Structure 1
Amino acid sequence: MTDTLLSGELTDSELQELAERAGRELEDASATEILKWATDTFGPRFCVTSSMEDAVVAHLASRVMPGVDVVFLDTGYHFPETIGTRDAVDAVMDVNVITITPRKTVAEQDAEHGEKLHDRDPDLC
């Protein structure tokens, strides 16, 4: 596929078909080959997400698509080591780390809903 796909160009059923076809075609592919397919298919709209428990996906993605966006969801509950990994990935790799934070801080959420909301109602938090 030489043209890249942009958001909104495919219907839900077309996206489902694309995913099923890719699953068949890439069944025996390496991680790097799968990332290459994704960058060829989605172009500059392609990004990866990372929990920053490690940096494997970010590293591989940076080799296939230098400057790739790496999205990290900072829940406010991460260990300092996880934030350190995020910062190291941002400093050392050819990626663009995008940190997404919730609308409310942990303190605001606790004040409104009580502590440990994630244990009681994961959908609400």
Structure 2
Amino acid sequence: MATRHQARTAVVGLLYAYDLGNENIAKFSDEILEEDKIRNKQRDFSHDLFDGTIENLEMLDAEIEKHLTDWDYDAIGRVEKAILRLGAYEILVAKTDRAIIINEAVELAKSLADEKSPQFINGVLDAIGK
């Protein structure tokens, strides 16, 4: 059975594809999640995260941008944006424990983004959560 971390990893991939302009990615999400062996409760969890993030995208982007220091929002990499959007959604909307979400986001950044991303993502999400 897939873990929540694996589910979040898949959601970052879906958000990344969405950000690239594939707005129909939701139609294929079940197939993508199945390919990653994300089933049952974790599939439902993944759908909730993806759908909730997309539904709140404008607010999440504004919140992320508000907490950037010395960064232009448009200069942030797409993977980093996906991780930040997911983390911001879980902190602000889903009301998941902030420390857990920041840790998850940092771990996602370590495995999916460049070496400076974990520290950047930690700082932004920490500011959002306060």
- Common fold by TM > 0.5: no
Q: Scaled by the length of structure 1, what TM-score is found?
A: 0.32
Query: Which structure has more strand as a fraction of its residues?
Result: 1
**TM-score normalised by structure 2 residue count:** 0.31
Higher relative contact order (CA 8 A, sep 6+): 2
